[in-house]
Each structure stands twice: as structure tokens, then as C-alpha cells.
Structure 1
Amino acid sequence: MGISAVLPEAHVVHLVQYWDDGVVPSNLRVRPRASVGARTVLGVLMGVGTVAAAVPSVILWTFPTPGWWFSLTFAVFIGLLVVGCWAGFLDSLRRGRSREWTAGRW
């Protein structure tokens, strides 16, 4: 199963007035993929954010709180926030590869 069968954006049809073989028309407005440096910086920032999110979770479980439910609630919230950020970052990488693949296939 190819990438076009999985990604719905690969099925969009754009009508253009001209056709220059081998070149993606500029009026398709395909956003370029983020550079390697930008992806690296974002990955490092995500890693730092993950470590920074672990600090409040450790504090919640080592210092006195109103109860275990309090620590659990906020630890789960912080964990879901980190997981959501990572999911968004990884999805943006996947979509960038998809756009690059689609433009290369043109």
C-alpha cells in the first residue's frame, strides 16, 4: 500500500492553467519541509521540555500533597501534555515527508 492510499491530502486535485513537466507549479502553494536544522532544534527543545515536565511530576510525588489523587491527577495531566506535544511534532515530521514525497513524484 503506497503513501497515497494512506494520506488523504495526496488525493486532492488542483486544476492549473499550464503544465510544465517535472516542475511543481508555484500556485499549488505546497509548503516546503522544515530544514534539518529546524527539525533538530525542535527535537532538542522537545527533549528539554520532556525533562522539564518530569521535574514537577517528581515534586508532586516526593513532597506532601493533599492526597495521592492530587499527585496522580496532575502527573497524568503533565504526562498527557508531553505526549500530545510529541505526537504533534512527530506528525509534522510525517506530513513534511509526505509533502516532499508528493512533490518528488510530480
Structure 2
Amino acid sequence: MSGAQYAVTARFDLKPEGVEGFDALAQWRIEQAAANEPGLVGYAVHRVDGEPLARVFYEIYRDETAFKEHRATEQTAEFGRRHVPFVQGPPRIEFLNVLFSANGLAPRP
């Protein structure tokens, strides 16, 4: 893998009654991204150890353009509309810049 990947995390804090619905929606979103976004390098949803109501999306794109293409999809807009009842507030989104890496993750210039 070469080039300058673009990575993003998004942390969602769920309502206790929203876990099942959110997890099903997140799985749908991952499947849609895998099938329809050629600029996607990696996309995973994680549980946070010791925080059963926390979910973190970890996303790696070929470059910033691929991330912008991801943001412009109807699936992203639909996820944005549908996740709201399951969460306690807006997600915490962080944009990441690789400093050091293994296995081909390249620093952005």
C-alpha cells in the first residue's frame, strides 16, 4: 500500500435502549461502504473495553478525496439521519495524521 491515507475516528455514546438498533445500523453502513466505496482502505466499528455503550468507527481512506466521496454518499446521509435516536449526543470525530506506521500506512505530506 502506498500513498497518503486519510484516517478518521468517530466515537458514539449510545443510549442503553439504542445498542441493538445502532449496532444493526452500523453493520449496514459498513456493508454499504465495502460494496460501494472504492477509495475505502479499511472501515471497522469497535466496542470500547469497559464502556459497553461506546462505539468507535475507525476509517481509513485512500486519500482525502476518497473521504470526501464517502461523506457525499446517500448511505452516509442516511446513517446520519437514522442513528440519532440511538445516541446520547453528537459523535466525537477526529481526523488523524500518520506520524509513524507499519504495514504500509503512509504519512500524509
TM-score by length of 1: 0.29
* Larger helix fraction of residues: 1
TM-score by length of 2: 0.29
Query: Which of 1 and 2 has greater Rg?
Result: 1
* Larger strand fraction of residues: 2
